Amino acid sequence: METFEQLNRHALLELIEKLPYPDFKHAVQLFAQMEKLDFHQELNLITTFHFQSRMEKLGINNTCPSCGSSHHTIHAIRNEIKRYRCKDCSKTYTLFSGTVIEKTKWHWDIWVRFLELTIHGHSLNDIQSILESEFGCNNINHKTVFLWRHKLIYVLAQMSKIRLSNYVYMDGITIRESQKGSRSLINYKNLKLERKPRTGRLSIKKEATDVAFTTIATAVDSTGHCICNVIGMGKNKPEDIFNALKHYLEDDGHTPLEFSSKKIEEPQNTKTVPCEKAILTLDYFKELNVSGMSSSDMSLKLHADIQKFICQDMANVSTKYLEDYLGFFTYMRNWRIDHGRCPFSRKDIESIFIEIIKSRINYSKKRSFASL
Ligand SMILES: [Zn+2]
């Protein structure tokens, strides 16, 4: 290994691949001290450059995000980030443009580990302390971890919107509206009235008059792939379910339809467990097997899985986040169907991370709750 006198940026770039992250960081620190440079700036610079060369090698995002053209010239290089100019539409872009990671310059390995911990369902505290012990990230607080986990879940949820083919079975389920984590409660049954916190189990009569329900439209095709969409409050008609899902049909000409509707009962109402429980458990993936099932059985299984995921694993999800968590669940479930195994190896997680960057989906705060 080089002595520290020989350290320069080029050598550091080689070290980033060879050394464990904390050791690499230490080398950057020595280099910055020696050259009287700002450590954090230097670390960002080398990390970003390394991230960019990984993307170049993998051929990720080397086309124009606006028009898809692959003809470009290098427009400028600023802080080691190459900015391209598209020869067809003359817009400029970088390999990071429009992706969820655009503004945050973390090391590739930190991202992959973060995604892994999110998918494995680690708590926020766990994620924070693992990042600290493995990568020395002591500047990442609880709030940052919460936000980033949510951003990744959001992007995966967007990526879950696939096209279904062959025979598609559509159905709807309703689950109780939840405002977990909110300070002021809204009465969705009557906006003018107060919505009281619910405790314990309600009588059937009280539940029918007091509780608002959210409807989730679900569709499963003959390969076992599914789509789940939150379509709004209250009971929805079969036509509403069909209209909400018809865009996801590969061939919307002749899909036979069957409708039924069930109401899901929560095992217990408003548990005050913090939202830090397992997101998806390994057992879930092990057990998931839809081969040889009839479409209606697959649909029933999907409904049972949603119920378990939302009401038990997550200890109830706030309705405002329901769409994201449901989409995340759908993405992971379809991934399992495609690959026939759990996404638990580093290679699997990395491939999902690459898909996330390739999708160029960014987190948007603009949410549509108009229907709720
Ligand atoms: Zn272009």
What are 17-66's pLDDT values in tens digits? Answer: 788 888 888 888 988 998 899 999 989 888 999 999 999 999 999 999 99
**How far apart are the CA of 74 and the centre of ligand 1, in A?**
13
**How far apart are the CA of 84 and the centre of ligand 1, in A?**
10
pLDDT, averaged across the chain? 80
Which of 64-78, 183-197, 199-213 shows the lowest mean pLDDT across its residues?
199-213
Which of 62-76, 291-305, 318-332 shows the lowest mean pLDDT across its residues?
291-305
**How far apart are the CA of 93 and the centre of ligand 1, in A?**
9
Predicted confidence at residue 368, as pLDDT, reads 42
**How far apart are the CA of 362 and the centre of ligand 1, in A?**
19
**How far apart are the CA of 97 and the centre of ligand 1, in A?**
13
**How far apart are the CA of 73 and the centre of ligand 1, in A?**
11
**How far apart are the CA of 160 and the centre of ligand 1, in A?**
26
Instruction: Express each pLDDT in 99-121 by its tens digit.
Output: 999 888 789 999 999 999 999 88
User: Is the predicted pLDDT of residue 209 greater than 70, yes or no?
Assistant: no
**How far apart are the CA of 81 and the centre of ligand 1, in A?**
19
**How far apart are the CA of 95 and the centre of ligand 1, in A?**
13
User: Is the predicted pLDDT of residue 318 greater than 80, yes or no?
Assistant: no
User: Is the predicted pLDDT of residue 334 greater than 70, yes or no?
Assistant: yes
**How far apart are the CA of 367 and the centre of ligand 1, in A?**
28
**How far apart are the CA of 98 and the centre of ligand 1, in A?**
14
* Alpha-carbon span 222 to 129, nearest angstrom: 43
Q: What is the mean pLDDT of residues 326-352?
A: 91
Predicted confidence at residue 279, as pLDDT, reads 55
**How far apart are the CA of 77 and the centre of ligand 1, in A?**
19
Greater confidence (153 vs 7) lies with 153
User: Is the predicted pLDDT of residue 9 greater than 80, yes or no?
Assistant: no
User: Is the predicted pLDDT of residue 67 greater than 70, yes or no?
Assistant: yes
Greater confidence (9 vs 251) lies with 9
**How far apart are the CA of 70 and the centre of ligand 1, in A?**
8
* Alpha-carbon span 115 to 74, nearest angstrom: 31
**How far apart are the CA of 316 and the centre of ligand 1, in A?**
44
**How far apart are the CA of 76 and the centre of ligand 1, in A?**
16
Instruction: Express each pLDDT in 212-260 by its tens digit.
Output: 778 899 998 888 899 999 888 776 778 888 888 888 887 655 444 454 4
Residue 157 binned pLDDT confidence (cut-offs 50, 70, 90): very high
Greater confidence (219 vs 263) lies with 219
**How far apart are the CA of 88 and the centre of ligand 1, in A?**
5
Predicted confidence at residue 276, as pLDDT, reads 40
What residues sit around ligand 1, an ion, with C-beta below 5 angstroms? 64, 66-67, 69, 86, 88-89
Predicted confidence at residue 211, as pLDDT, reads 66
**How far apart are the CA of 83 and the centre of ligand 1, in A?**
13
**How far apart are the CA of 358 and the centre of ligand 1, in A?**
16
The domain spans of the chain are: 1-60, 63-97, 164-346
Which of 131-145, 249-263, 294-308, 336-350 shows the lowest mean pLDDT across its residues?
249-263
Neighbours of 323 (CB within 10 A): 22
Predicted confidence at residue 76, as pLDDT, reads 94
**How far apart are the CA of 72 and the centre of ligand 1, in A?**
8
Predicted confidence at residue 155, as pLDDT, reads 95
**How far apart are the CA of 152 and the centre of ligand 1, in A?**
27
Q: Which residues pair with 261 in a beta bridge?
A: 172
User: Is the predicted pLDDT of residue 347 greater than 50, yes or no?
Assistant: yes
Predicted confidence at residue 264, as pLDDT, reads 37
**How far apart are the CA of 53 and the centre of ligand 1, in A?**
22
**How far apart are the CA of 87 and the centre of ligand 1, in A?**
7
User: Is the predicted pLDDT of residue 208 greater than 70, yes or no?
Assistant: no
**How far apart are the CA of 96 and the centre of ligand 1, in A?**
15
User: Is the predicted pLDDT of residue 364 greater than 60, yes or no?
Assistant: yes
**How far apart are the CA of 156 and the centre of ligand 1, in A?**
26
Give percent of the chain above pLDDT 70: 78
Greater confidence (52 vs 341) lies with 52
Predicted confidence at residue 206, as pLDDT, reads 64
pTM of the model: 0.83
Greater confidence (11 vs 206) lies with 11
* Alpha-carbon span 158 to 83, nearest angstrom: 27
